[in-house]
Chain A
Amino acid sequence: MTSNLLILYQAPALGLQLAIDGILIGAMFAIAAYGMALVWGVTNIINVAQGEFVMLGGLIAILGAEHGLSLWLTVPLAAAALYALGWFLFYAVIVLLLGRDMFNSVFATFGIAIVMQQVMAHVFGGADRIAVSSLGSWFFLDSLVVVSKMKVVVFAACIGLGITLAWFLARSRMGQAIRAVAQKPEAASVLGIETRKVYCLTYALNAAICGAAGALAATAYTIQPYGGLSYTIRSFMIVVVAGLGNLGGMIWAALGLGVAENFAGFILGTQYQIAFVFGLLVVVLVFRNWRLRRQRQHLE
């Protein structure tokens, strides 16, 4: 461990590389987490199939790339396909879970995840895949810091997506409706908003977001029908750390998570990378609980 710290001290450019890589991958998790938070906040359903949506988006994008489609086409294609799937799943499964115990939603979406995994493996095959990008990289500081252009594109796309979503929620009519339903469904329906439609749109939108994230992820990381769990877990973690409805916090949490993972992997060794991140989650939750308890004591 100390030898790794020494390397960072002697070559701080490597620390820069780790930080940049962390931010780039964090943006992707931020998008998936945002979709999960959206669904959770509006419909009170935890979508355990989040990672599978991402994988499906990735597989569709890879299929498109193999047929010569460029990234500008495969990302919207994946998003549109996942939107349709989200719509279908909503009316097939999710609609039965509305208003019920959250535990039911976890079970049901877990079931969706399993079915999706099997269907994807059946259709696409179980192999690991990656979409080869031909964009190349920027090289700084004598190739010590390498920034893949594709990852920057992905980062920019995620930021763009996030801004678009935020604008959509804040300014558009439907966005207003979504926020209204999230605040108080009964009042919203009294005011003439069709809550069922809003729920459906939210779920389908989340699926589309995940599809886009998956299509973007496929350019840098391997995609496999059974590989969705790590995305689901990270989304969940970011939402929990940031808190529902805290969009800014979510972005910070996601980027911070990416950077923390990279540094932990470098300094402690990759075997502890994921363990460190979950340990960090526990620390954050314990600290927050302690802070809140103090606040509660004051109020009492």
Chain B
Amino acid sequence: MRGFLASLSFILLACGADSAVCADASTSDNVTNDDVITLGAAVSLTGKYALNGTNTKNGYDLAVQQINEKGGVKVGDKSYELKVRYYDDESTPARGTELVERLIQQDRVLYILGPYSSGLTKAILPIVERYKVPMVEANGAARELFTKGYRYIFAVLSTSDQYLTPAIELAAQNAEKLGKAPSEITVAMATENDPFAQDVRAGVLADLQRYGMNFVVDDQLPPELNDMTVTLAKIKALTPDVLVVSGHEKGALTAVTQIEALRVNVPVVALTHCDSAQIAKKLRKASQHVFCAHQWHRSLDHKGTLFGSAAEFAKRFEAVYGYEAPYQAAQSAAAVYVFADAFSRAKSLDPETVRDAISATDLPTFYGPIKFDQTGKNIAKSMVLTQIIEGEYVVVAPKKWATAEPVIPRPKH
């Protein structure tokens, strides 16, 4: 009995182990296959980023599917099928670097799609740079990725310092509703201790300086911490006008639930990662009138040839995967689109030529316009701020896309 159970457990373990590699075993020849272009990606299928790693993979897959359905990638007069080879980086930088090195060295992949999170992207940057392999990434927003002179990184998303700028701007514009001058507004910040959230914080600090505002709370939350009561107790004592929280989905969920539970009344509450945490759907009452930063929203008027409009992409995604597309999925799809467009403009598969073609990208897409500066940032697209009203994300900034006036201050309930 004991031996049987032990062997059974072992067999189950062996079958489950490294399933990403097992699944791709059949495509191992395709890296050198003549009619297929293989992109490589180490994404977080397990670990604390598992949710968004899956969103990223789904975005990549949907774009690959769409491109192949439309005839594949055209390089010169030849058509290629697009494929992605995945590994699971387990949400840890060490594993990510190992796997990207493996993709490049062993699997001979010549083009890399980025992982989820600034931390993981930062870890693999030196590797793609060393091997001169172009990487288009969709989920690493920290500015420090672009300040070291790396030539092989291209990011389709807006940088993290811009996430909450619209919220601070909105607070300043609505200062008289708060009964103060813009420079008298006080701000509380609760950010997770990781490269992305710390860059969001840096962006907020820069905005505060611009408007002459002061911060009263500046808490940096350890990544394993899922309790914000200490920070919220401080906020109760100091009564700031604005609270900004950035801690991925856990931060959004925790902040919204605990603000409600502790009856913390802050006139303006702004978060990141609301939609991937699904707080509008799951915490309808508690998330009312919270501001959310988005890289993309389905109601925007972006259009491109691959998916059509933003709304059409959203519909397609939901039809295939059965849940609403968070912006992480949209930007991942856009990254694959950039590669396909670059291949056809480069008329070559040589990594260096492709890299130069990516660098010259000027592409309107369902996700937004994509144009890279020399550091690899996308300078053509802007962030969007929404406010949750009755379980829906209503766009309130920038003005050209706003569908409603923001509700400030947040009504007490």
B28-36, B49-57, B135-143, B180-188: which lies at the interface = B49-57
Task: Choose one: B5, B13, B46, B190; the contact of A121 (CB below 8 Å).
Answer: B46
Judge whether B237 and A11 touch: CB under 8 Å. yes
Q: Once the chains are docked, how many angstroms separate the CA of A95 from the CA of B5?
A: 11
Residue from A17, A25, A121, A229 in contact with B224 in the complex, judged by beta carbons closer than 8 Å: A229
Cβ contacts B237-259/A at 8 Å (1 or 0 each): 11000000000011001100100
Query: Is A195 at the interface (CB under 8 A from chain B)?
Result: no
A126-B46, A126-B50, A227-B48 given; A273·B226 CB < 8 A: no
What CA separation (Å) do A88 and B237 show in the bound complex? 50
- Determine if B262 is an interface residue (Cβ-Cβ < 8 Å): yes
Cα separation A230 to B16 with both chains bound (whole Å): 25
Measured CB to CB, the closest approach of chain A to B280, in angstroms, equals: 14
In the assembled complex, the CB of B285 is this many whole angstroms from the nearest CB of chain A, namely 9
For B193, what are the chain A residues with a Cβ–Cβ distance below 8 Å?
Answer: 271
A130 touches B46 (CB 8 A): no
Q: Which of A72-80, A136-144, A161-169, A208-216 contacts B (4 or more CB under 8 A)?
A: A136-144
B367 to chain A, nearest CB (A): 23
Chain A: interface size category: 35 or more
In the bound assembly, the distance between CA atoms of A92 and B2 in angstroms comes to: 6
Q: Does the CB pair B237–A7 fall under 8 Å?
A: yes
A96 within 8 A of B: yes
In the assembled complex, which residues on chain A have CB atoms less than 8 Å from the CB atom of B227?
Answer: 25, 221
Contact: A128 with B233, CB < 8 Å?
no
A126/B233 in contact, CB under 8 A: no
Contact in complex: B230, A230 (CB < 8 Å): no
A93: B residues at CB distance < 8 A: 6, 9
Contact B233 A18 (CB under 8 A): yes
Interface residues of B in 229-284 (CB under 8 A from A): 229-231, 233-234, 236-238, 249-250, 253-254, 257, 261-263, 277-278, 282-283
Interface residues on B, range: 35 or more
Give 1 or 0 for each of A122-148: 1 = CB within 8 Å of chain B CB: 000111111010000101000110101
Interface pair B226/A221, CB less than 8 Å apart: yes
Alpha-carbon distance A115/B9, docked complex (angstroms): 10
- State whether the Cβ of B126 lies closer than 8 Å to any Cβ in chain A: no
CB <8 Å contact, B238 and A7: yes
Counting CB contacts under 8 A, is A34 at the interface?
no
B47 within 8 A of A: yes
Would you call B5 and A14 a contact (CB within 8 A)? no
The answer to whether B230 touches A222 (Cβ under 8 A) is no
The answer for the CA separation of A273 and B222 in the assembled complex, in Å, is 8
- Shortest C-beta distance, B255 to chain A (Å), equals 11
The reply to whether A92 and B9 form a contact with Cβ atoms under 8 Å apart is yes
Expressed in whole angstroms, the Cα–Cα distance for A25 and B227 within the complex equals 10
- For A266, give its contact among B230, B250, B277 (CB under 8 Å): B230
- Give A226 to B223 CA distance when docked, in angstroms: 12
> A270 contacts the other chain (Cβ, under 8 Å)?
yes
Min Cβ gap A260→B in Å is: 12
Q: Are B6 and A144 in contact (CB under 8 A)?
A: no
Q: Is the CB of B249 within 8 A of A270?
A: no
A92 touches B219 (CB 8 A): no
Are B226's CB and A222's CB within 8 A? yes
**A225 in contact (CB, < 8 A):** yes
In the complex, what residues of A have CB within 8 A of residue B226's CB?
Answer: 128, 221-222, 227, 230
Residues of B within 8 A of A273 (CB): 222, 225, 230
Whether the pair B261, A226 counts as a contact (CB closer than 8 A) is no
For the complex, is B220 an interface residue (Cβ under 8 Å from A)? yes
Known: A118-B46, A128-B51, A146-B261. A270 touches B13 (CB 8 A): no
In the complex the two chains form, what is the Cα distance from A4 to B278 in whole Å?
34
B94 interface hit (Cβ, 8 Å): no
Nearest CB on B from A75, distance (A): 19
| Residues of chain B with a CB closer than 8 A to A222's CB | 226, 250, 253-254
CB distance from A12 to the nearest CB of B (A): 11
Q: Which residue of B lies closest to A15 (CB)?
A: B233
Interface: A91 (CB within 8 A): yes
A265 in contact (CB, < 8 A): yes
* B221 interface residue (CB < 8 Å to A): yes
Could you give, for residues 207-227 of chain B, a 1 whenever the CB lies within 8 Å of some chain A CB and a 0 otherwise? Answer: 000000000001111101111
Chain A residues, CB < 8 A from B277 = 127-128
Chain B residue with Cβ nearest A271: B220
Q: Are B250 and A262 in contact (CB under 8 A)?
A: no
A270 in contact with B250 given A95-B2, A221-B227 (CB within 8 Å): no
CB distance from A63 to the nearest CB of B (A): 14
Chain A, residues 244-287, CB within 8 Å of chain B (1/0): the string is 00000000000000000010011001110110000000000000
Nearest B residue to A266 via CB reads B230
Residue of B nearest to A126 (CB): B50
Selected contact of A91 from candidates B2, B50, B283, CB within 8 Å = B2
* Interface presence of A47 (CB below 8 A): no
Given A96-B2, A270-B220, 4 new contacts (CB under 8 A):
A7-B238, A221-B254, A227-B48, A271-B222
3 smallest A-B Cβ distances: which pairs?
A: A126-B50, A265-B230, A271-B220
A-B contact pairs, 16 of them (CB 8 A): A7-B237, A92-B9, A117-B46, A121-B50, A126-B48, A126-B49, A126-B51, A127-B277, A128-B226, A128-B249, A130-B257, A132-B286, A148-B261, A221-B254, A224-B48, A227-B224
A: which residues have CB within 8 A of B? 4, 7, 10-11, 14, 17-18, 21, 25, 88, 91-93, 95-96, 115, 117-119, 121, 125-130, 132, 137, 139, 143-144, 146, 148, 220-222, 224-227, 229-230, 262, 265-266, 269-271, 273-274
